[in-house]
A and B are shown apart, each in its own frame.
Chain A
Amino acid sequence: AQRVTQPEKLLSVFKGAPVELKCNYSYSGSPELFWYVQYSRQRLQLLLRHISRESIKGFTADLNKGETSFHLKKPFAQEEDSAMYYCALTPTGGYNKLIFGAGTRLAVHP
Protein backbone atom coordinates (compact mmCIF):
# COMPACT_ATOMS: atom_id res chain seq x y z
CA ALA A 1 0.00 0.00 0.00
CA GLN A 2 1.10 3.55 -0.66
CA ARG A 3 1.70 5.37 2.57
CA VAL A 4 3.57 8.38 3.92
CA THR A 5 4.52 8.43 7.59
CA GLN A 6 5.57 11.48 9.56
CA PRO A 7 6.25 10.12 13.04
CA GLU A 8 6.34 13.45 14.87
CA LYS A 9 3.17 15.50 15.34
CA LEU A 10 5.11 18.35 16.91
CA LEU A 11 8.75 19.37 16.77
CA SER A 12 9.76 22.17 19.09
CA VAL A 13 13.20 23.81 18.80
CA PHE A 14 14.93 27.06 19.68
CA LYS A 15 15.99 29.61 17.12
CA GLY A 16 19.35 28.71 15.62
CA ALA A 17 19.05 25.01 16.39
CA PRO A 18 19.19 22.39 13.63
CA VAL A 19 15.92 20.92 12.44
CA GLU A 20 15.10 17.53 10.96
CA LEU A 21 11.53 16.64 10.05
CA LYS A 22 11.22 12.93 9.39
CA CYS A 23 9.34 11.35 6.51
CA ASN A 24 9.19 7.70 5.54
CA TYR A 25 7.23 6.28 2.68
CA SER A 26 5.92 2.95 1.53
CA TYR A 27 5.68 2.42 -2.22
CA SER A 28 6.89 -0.36 -4.45
CA GLY A 29 7.74 1.78 -7.46
CA SER A 30 9.63 5.05 -7.93
CA PRO A 31 7.54 7.83 -6.50
CA GLU A 32 8.13 11.53 -6.65
CA LEU A 33 8.51 13.06 -3.19
CA PHE A 34 7.55 16.54 -2.04
CA TRP A 35 7.54 18.72 1.03
CA TYR A 36 4.67 21.19 1.38
CA VAL A 37 4.46 23.91 4.02
CA GLN A 38 1.39 25.62 5.45
CA TYR A 39 1.95 28.81 7.43
CA SER A 40 -0.75 29.92 9.83
CA ARG A 41 -4.02 30.59 7.98
CA GLN A 42 -2.36 30.32 4.56
CA ARG A 43 -2.67 27.89 1.71
CA LEU A 44 -0.33 24.97 1.18
CA GLN A 45 2.80 25.89 -0.69
CA LEU A 46 5.33 23.65 -2.30
CA LEU A 47 8.59 23.86 -0.38
CA LEU A 48 10.68 21.48 -2.43
CA ARG A 49 10.61 18.31 -4.50
CA HIS A 50 13.26 15.64 -4.69
CA ILE A 51 13.82 15.83 -8.43
CA SER A 52 14.83 19.50 -8.17
CA ARG A 53 17.56 18.84 -5.62
CA GLU A 54 17.50 22.50 -4.64
CA SER A 55 17.51 24.35 -1.34
CA ILE A 56 14.51 26.54 -0.52
CA LYS A 57 14.58 28.90 2.47
CA GLY A 58 17.61 26.96 3.71
CA PHE A 59 15.76 23.63 3.71
CA THR A 60 17.06 20.54 1.94
CA ALA A 61 15.79 17.00 1.62
CA ASP A 62 17.52 13.95 0.26
CA LEU A 63 15.71 10.93 -1.03
CA ASN A 64 17.11 7.73 0.48
CA LYS A 65 15.63 4.86 -1.48
CA GLY A 66 17.30 2.24 0.70
CA GLU A 67 15.66 3.58 3.85
CA THR A 68 12.59 4.87 1.92
CA SER A 69 12.99 8.23 3.62
CA PHE A 70 12.83 11.87 2.58
CA HIS A 71 13.74 13.81 5.71
CA LEU A 72 13.63 17.62 5.65
CA LYS A 73 16.60 19.41 7.18
CA LYS A 74 17.70 22.93 8.01
CA PRO A 75 20.93 23.71 9.87
CA PHE A 76 19.68 26.82 11.71
CA ALA A 77 15.97 27.23 12.41
CA GLN A 78 14.33 30.68 12.26
CA GLU A 79 11.14 31.80 14.00
CA GLU A 80 9.48 32.34 10.62
CA ASP A 81 9.93 28.63 9.89
CA SER A 82 7.16 27.86 12.37
CA ALA A 83 4.47 26.14 10.32
CA MET A 84 2.85 22.83 9.46
CA TYR A 85 4.97 20.66 7.19
CA TYR A 86 3.58 17.87 5.04
CA CYS A 87 5.53 15.21 3.24
CA ALA A 88 3.78 13.81 0.16
CA LEU A 89 4.37 11.41 -2.66
CA THR A 90 3.01 11.02 -6.16
CA PRO A 91 2.94 7.43 -7.41
CA THR A 92 4.17 6.76 -10.91
CA GLY A 93 1.40 7.16 -13.46
CA GLY A 94 -1.10 8.24 -10.84
CA TYR A 95 -2.34 11.39 -12.52
CA ASN A 96 -0.15 13.22 -10.08
CA LYS A 97 -2.40 12.48 -7.12
CA LEU A 98 -0.71 13.41 -3.89
CA ILE A 99 -0.60 11.08 -0.91
CA PHE A 100 0.11 13.11 2.20
CA GLY A 101 1.55 12.29 5.57
CA ALA A 102 -0.27 13.45 8.70
CA GLY A 103 2.00 16.48 9.00
CA THR A 104 4.47 17.79 11.56
CA ARG A 105 4.03 21.10 13.30
CA LEU A 106 7.35 22.89 13.68
CA ALA A 107 7.50 25.44 16.48
CA VAL A 108 10.63 27.60 16.62
CA HIS A 109 11.01 29.51 19.87
CA PRO A 110 13.07 32.68 20.36
Chain B
Amino acid sequence: NAGVTQTPKFRVLKTGQSMTLLCAQDMNHEYMYWYRQDPGMGLRLIHYSVGEGTTAKGEVPDGYNVSRLKKQNFLLGLESAAPSQTSVYFCASRDRSNQPQHFGDGTRLSIL
Protein backbone atom coordinates (compact mmCIF):
# COMPACT_ATOMS: atom_id res chain seq x y z
CA ASN B 1 0.00 0.00 0.00
CA ALA B 2 1.87 3.06 -1.27
CA GLY B 3 -0.52 5.63 0.22
CA VAL B 4 0.06 9.07 -1.29
CA THR B 5 2.79 9.32 -3.93
CA GLN B 6 4.13 12.58 -5.33
CA THR B 7 6.22 12.96 -8.47
CA PRO B 8 8.72 14.39 -9.01
CA LYS B 9 10.54 14.71 -5.67
CA PHE B 10 12.75 17.58 -6.82
CA ARG B 11 12.75 20.00 -9.73
CA VAL B 12 14.51 23.18 -10.72
CA LEU B 13 12.75 25.47 -13.18
CA LYS B 14 13.52 28.73 -14.87
CA THR B 15 11.15 31.66 -14.52
CA GLY B 16 8.36 31.37 -17.06
CA GLN B 17 8.55 27.62 -17.53
CA SER B 18 5.54 25.42 -16.96
CA MET B 19 5.35 22.32 -14.83
CA THR B 20 2.84 19.76 -13.56
CA LEU B 21 3.13 18.01 -10.21
CA LEU B 22 1.39 14.69 -9.88
CA CYS B 23 -0.23 13.29 -6.76
CA ALA B 24 -1.53 9.73 -6.78
CA GLN B 25 -3.32 7.90 -3.98
CA ASP B 26 -4.31 4.25 -3.86
CA MET B 27 -6.68 4.43 -0.90
CA ASN B 28 -9.82 5.31 -2.87
CA HIS B 29 -10.05 8.62 -1.02
CA GLU B 30 -12.64 11.18 -2.06
CA TYR B 31 -10.86 14.34 -0.91
CA MET B 32 -7.48 15.51 -2.09
CA TYR B 33 -5.48 18.63 -1.27
CA TRP B 34 -2.42 20.56 -2.40
CA TYR B 35 -0.44 22.59 0.15
CA ARG B 36 2.74 24.61 -0.04
CA GLN B 37 5.16 24.76 2.86
CA ASP B 38 7.29 27.86 3.38
CA PRO B 39 9.62 28.71 6.28
CA GLY B 40 7.85 30.58 9.07
CA MET B 41 4.43 30.14 7.43
CA GLY B 42 3.56 26.51 7.94
CA LEU B 43 1.47 24.81 5.27
CA ARG B 44 -1.05 26.76 3.25
CA LEU B 45 -3.81 25.25 1.16
CA ILE B 46 -3.55 25.96 -2.58
CA HIS B 47 -6.44 24.00 -4.07
CA TYR B 48 -8.50 21.02 -3.06
CA SER B 49 -10.94 18.54 -4.54
CA VAL B 50 -13.93 16.82 -2.95
CA GLY B 51 -14.40 14.31 -5.72
CA GLU B 52 -13.54 13.29 -9.25
CA GLY B 53 -14.13 16.15 -11.66
CA THR B 54 -14.37 18.83 -8.93
CA THR B 55 -11.84 21.37 -7.71
CA ALA B 56 -11.96 24.40 -5.44
CA LYS B 57 -9.65 27.24 -4.43
CA GLY B 58 -7.85 27.25 -1.15
CA GLU B 59 -6.01 30.00 0.67
CA VAL B 60 -3.29 30.74 -1.94
CA PRO B 61 -4.58 29.64 -5.38
CA ASP B 62 -3.10 32.37 -7.59
CA GLY B 63 -0.61 31.14 -10.17
CA TYR B 64 -1.73 27.53 -9.90
CA ASN B 65 -4.28 25.33 -11.63
CA VAL B 66 -5.45 21.85 -10.74
CA SER B 67 -7.34 18.96 -12.29
CA ARG B 68 -8.95 15.82 -10.91
CA LEU B 69 -9.84 13.80 -14.00
CA LYS B 70 -9.42 10.51 -12.17
CA LYS B 71 -10.33 9.86 -8.56
CA GLN B 72 -6.86 8.65 -7.68
CA ASN B 73 -4.93 11.54 -9.24
CA PHE B 74 -4.75 15.24 -8.41
CA LEU B 75 -2.53 17.36 -10.64
CA LEU B 76 -1.09 20.76 -9.74
CA GLY B 77 0.03 22.94 -12.61
CA LEU B 78 2.21 26.02 -12.80
CA GLU B 79 1.62 27.69 -16.17
CA SER B 80 4.36 30.31 -15.85
CA ALA B 81 6.61 29.65 -12.88
CA ALA B 82 7.77 32.57 -10.74
CA PRO B 83 10.51 32.69 -8.07
CA SER B 84 7.80 33.28 -5.44
CA GLN B 85 6.58 29.75 -6.14
CA THR B 86 9.80 28.24 -4.86
CA SER B 87 8.54 26.01 -2.08
CA VAL B 88 7.93 22.48 -0.90
CA TYR B 89 4.60 21.17 -2.15
CA PHE B 90 2.62 18.56 -0.24
CA CYS B 91 -0.32 16.56 -1.43
CA ALA B 92 -2.78 14.96 0.98
CA SER B 93 -5.89 12.84 0.76
CA ARG B 94 -8.62 11.54 3.01
CA ASP B 95 -11.91 9.72 2.77
CA ARG B 96 -15.38 10.92 3.72
CA SER B 97 -15.30 9.35 7.17
CA ASN B 98 -13.84 11.05 10.20
CA GLN B 99 -10.25 10.07 9.43
CA PRO B 100 -7.27 12.41 9.23
CA GLN B 101 -5.45 13.44 6.08
CA HIS B 102 -2.62 11.31 4.71
CA PHE B 103 0.34 13.24 3.29
CA GLY B 104 2.82 12.52 0.53
CA ASP B 105 6.58 12.95 0.83
CA GLY B 106 6.56 16.37 -0.78
CA THR B 107 8.04 17.93 -3.93
CA ARG B 108 10.83 20.44 -3.54
CA LEU B 109 10.52 23.01 -6.33
CA SER B 110 13.08 25.74 -6.99
CA ILE B 111 12.45 28.47 -9.55
CA LEU B 112 15.39 30.53 -10.67
Task: Write the residues of chain A forming the contact surface with B, with a CB cutoff of 8 angstroms.
Answer: 4, 6, 9, 34, 42-46, 49, 51, 86, 88, 95-103
Contact = CB atoms under 8 A, between A and B. Distances in A.
Interface string B13-40: 0000000000000000001010100001
B24 to A, nearest CB: 14
Interface of B: 31, 33, 35, 40-45, 48, 50, 56, 58-59, 90, 92, 94, 98, 100-101, 103-106
15 contacts: A4-B42, A43-B104, A43-B106, A44-B90, A46-B101, A51-B98, A95-B31, A95-B56, A96-B94, A97-B58, A98-B35, A98-B43, A98-B101, A100-B42, A103-B42
A4 B40 CA distance: 13
Contacts of A96: 31, 94, 101
